[in-house]
Amino acid sequence: MSLTYENPILPGFYPDPCIVRVDDTFYLITSSFQFFPGLPIHKSKDLINWELVGNAINRPSQLSLQHATTKANNLERREIFTGGIYAPTMRFHNGTFYIVCTNLTGSTSMAPEVDFEPNTNFLITCDDLTDPTAYSDPMPFDFYGIDPDLFFDDDGKVYMTGSFIHGYRKKPQTVIRQAEIDLTTGKLVTEARDVWTGTGGNCPEGPHIYKKDGWYYLMIAEGGTHRRHMVTIARSKAATGPFEGYEKNPLITGAPGSPITCVGHADLVEDATGNWWAVMLARRELGERGDSYPLGRETYMVPVDWPEGGFPVFEPVKLRHELAAERGVIGAKQRVSGVDEQVQLSSPQTIYIRDPLLRNYSSEEGAITLHLTETPLGAVGGSPTFVGRRQTFLVSTASAQVDLASAAKTGHAGLAVYKDPFRYASANLDLAAGVVSFNLRHATQEHVVVNSKELKGATVIKLSIQSTVETYIFSYSALIGKRWSPEVELSSIPCSDMSGDDFTGTVFGIYGSGSDGVVRFDSFTIRSD
Compute the distance between CA of residue 177 and CA of residue 164 in angstroms, rounded to an integer.
Answer: 6
| DSSP three-state, residue 495 | helix
Look at residues 392, 496, 395 and name the one whose alpha carbon lies nearest to residue 30: 392
Rg (CA), the chain: 23
Residue 526 near residue 340, CB atoms below 8 Å: yes
Compute the Cα dihedral for 474, 425, 38, 524 and give only its sign. negative
Dist CA 48 CA 145 (whole Å): 32
Kindly name the residue from 147, 149, 205, 420 that is annotated as catalytic. 205
Of all helices (H) and strands (E), which one includes residue 263? Answer: strand 260-270
- Three-class secondary structure of residue 191 per DSSP: coil
Q: Among residues 209, 247, 217, 248, which one has the least CA distance to residue 234?
A: 217
Q: Which residues contact 53 (CB under 8 A, 6 or more apart)?
A: 41, 42, 43, 129, 130, 348
Residue length, the chain?
Answer: 529
User: In this structure, are strands 139-141 and 313-314 parallel, antiparallel, or unpaired?
Assistant: unpaired
DSSP letter, residue 90: E
Of the candidates 408, 364, 415, 411, the one whose C-alpha atom is nearest the C-alpha of residue 387 is 415
205 catalytic residue (yes or no): yes
454 is catalytic: no
Q: Which amino acid is at 452?
A: S
* Nearest residue to 440 via CA among 497, 398, 488: 497
In one-letter notation, the amino acid at residue 517 is: G
∠ CA(430), CA(507), CA(97), 5° rounding?
A: 140
Q: In 3D, which of 78, 12, 84, 139 has the Cα closest to residue 353?
A: 84
Catalytic residue among 16, 267, 285, 497: 16
Are 436 and 455 in contact, with CB atoms under 8 Å apart?
yes
What is the enclosing helix (H) or strand (E) of 486?
none
How do beta strands 84-85 and 70-74 pair? unpaired
Cα 328 off chain centre by: 29
Neighbours of 412 (CB within 10 A): 22
- Which positions are annotated as active-site residues? 16, 205
